[in-house]
Amino acid sequence: MKAAAAIDGERLWRRHMALAEIGATGKGGVNRQALGADEARARALLAEWAGERGYRVSVDGISNLFVRREGTDPALAPVLTGSHIDSQPTGGRFDGAYGVLAALEALQALDEAGIETARPIEAVAWLNEEGSRFAPGMMGSEAFCNLRPLDDILAVTDRAGVSVADELPRALAATPGAERREIGFPVAAFVEAHIEQGPALERAGLPIGVVTGIQGVRRMRVRVTGEEAHAGTTPPSARRDALWEAARMIDALQRNIHRTEEHRFTVGMMEIRPNVPSVVASEVLFSIDIRHPDSDTLARLEAGVAAICRGASLACDFESWTIAASPSIRFDDRVVDTVEAAAADLGLGHMRIFSGAGHDARQLSHVCPTGMIFVPCEGGISHNEAENATPADLADGARVLAETLVRLAAG
């Protein structure tokens, strides 16, 4: 337990507050979206902290950032641990940041405990987990696990038509001292620490969640096409109103998909053209995010979207398509059991929990044994500037992480 005992909760909290100043919003959250100037500053700060410890810092071709603590056998595949430093536009101080900072803290605790591991351990910050500016997210971990062609990722553009390829040089230049690395290399195991982003741990009064898997998700788009017309002279019978018909479709989708407390249906993004008060909208693009723990149910919900939109349409045309699809996944028992044993050995209350939110661990589970550690967040609030966690819970999660890493990196 020496590694866990060396975790410095004060240092971990201080680093959270320092990182949260980068992209800080006026309401106590962060807006640090992928590939922006603030994210570049966050990268530089991480590299500075890593450099102070003498760790090797590297970036791969999609700008995933790695901090390596050498093992006694450098030739062995490393154990990876980390998460993301990009945020939603109205994000919180802990989503993603916690997994990266807990990873750095664990490396430092192993140093201070004088612990050597056979395998190297690398902390990682994956590019663009959130997918707010460049959608869909999980770009860094998908590229690393070869789950999405790099060219497809580089070609994604934001609303202004700026591409990932256009913005990547800024991220790569943020850590000039970092070694360059190929995208993807053998990994022995991956562990991600994260706030739960839900209320279960807080309600149960437990500090640790032993994550067993992640529910499936479908990320879709619907484009409704009508016709621009004068608001004052065009009678209802002559209109092809894309905004009205999009609203009808969204209402029908909500009523048909949000069937139980297990279903998750979200329309969070909408673009309207020409988006002015006295012109009937000619085009509306809206996002759909559907989640469900049962993969077959999720596939059925996705398949039903087009028919529901058709049933709600009147005079407009529409098209719907999927931009990202993942079934529910279950983590490898070897990692789940190691996390659980570490929490138990540390005498920390814990429970097994299935993740409602998506994480980079989903992608890594395709290439290596993977697991996650959750800590509570206040009221389960996340993707909201009010997101909050306590220094004690963050430190407890880092203790379980440090202990888990020692066991997984034993070789």
Kindly list the residues in this chain that would bind Mn ion in the complex (CB under 5 A). Answer: 95-96
Assess contact for 252 and 323: CB atoms under 8 A. no
Q: Which residue, 47 or 100, is less far from Mn ion as judged by CB?
A: 100
Q: Is 130 in the site for ligand HGY (CB under 6 A)?
A: yes
Other beta carbons within 10 angstroms of residue 307's beta carbon come to: 12
**Minimum CB separation from ligand HGY for residue 196, in Å?**
11
Q: Do strands 65-69 and 56-60 pair parallel, antiparallel, or not at all (unpaired)?
A: antiparallel
Q: Which of 99, 358, 369, 376 binds ligand HGY (CB under 6 A)?
A: 358
Alpha helices in 174-259 (DSSP H): 200-204, 242-257
**Minimum CB separation from ligand HGY for residue 239, in Å?**
36
Q: Report the partner that residue 369 touches, choosing among ligand HGY, Mn ion, none (CB closer than 5 to 8 A by kind).
A: none
For 154-204, strand residue ranges (E) read 179-181, 189-195
Name the 3-class secondary structure at 153.
Answer: helix
Q: Report the partner that residue 137 touches, choosing among Mn ion, ligand HGY, none (CB closer than 5 to 8 A by kind).
A: ligand HGY
Q: Report the partner that residue 96 touches, choosing among ligand HGY, Mn ion, none (CB closer than 5 to 8 A by kind).
A: Mn ion
Taking the C-alpha atoms of residue 207 and residue 389, their distance in angstroms, rounded to an integer, is 11
Q: Which residue, 118 or 147, is less far from ligand HGY as judged by CB?
A: 147
Tokens of 6: 């060396």
Handedness of CA 349, 13, 96, 301 (dihedral sign): positive
Taking the C-alpha atoms of residue 245 and residue 341, their distance in angstroms, rounded to an integer, is 54
Q: Which of 174, 4, 99 is nearest to 364 (CA)?
A: 99
Number of residues that bind ligand HGY (CB under 6 A): 5
Q: Report the partner that residue 78 touches, choosing among ligand HGY, Mn ion, none (CB closer than 5 to 8 A by kind).
A: none
Q: Which residue, 226 or 358, is less far from ligand HGY as judged by CB?
A: 358
Q: Which of 204, 357, 368, 386 binds ligand HGY (CB under 6 A)?
A: 357
**Minimum CB separation from ligand HGY for residue 137, in Å?**
5
Tokens of 294: 């049962």
Assess contact for 209 and 375: CB atoms under 8 A. yes
Q: Which of 23, 82, 99, 137 binds ligand HGY (CB under 6 A)?
A: 137
**Minimum CB separation from Mn ion for residue 325, in Å?**
19
**Minimum CB separation from ligand HGY for residue 93, in Å?**
15
Q: Which residue, 9 or 327, is less far from ligand HGY as judged by CB?
A: 327
Q: Report the partner that residue 385 touches, choosing among Mn ion, ligand HGY, none (CB closer than 5 to 8 A by kind).
A: none
Q: Which residue, 119 or 194, is less far from Mn ion as judged by CB?
A: 194
Other beta carbons within 10 angstroms of residue 388's beta carbon come to: 18
Contact partners, residue 297, CB within 8 Å, separation at least 6: none
Q: Report the partner that residue 358 touches, choosing among Mn ion, ligand HGY, none (CB closer than 5 to 8 A by kind).
A: ligand HGY
Q: Which residue, 85 or 339, is less far from Mn ion as judged by CB?
A: 85
Taking the C-alpha atoms of residue 22 and residue 410, their distance in angstroms, rounded to an integer, is 36
Alpha helices in 230-294 (DSSP H): 242-257
State the residues that interact with ligand HGY by CB under 6 A.
129-130, 137, 357-358
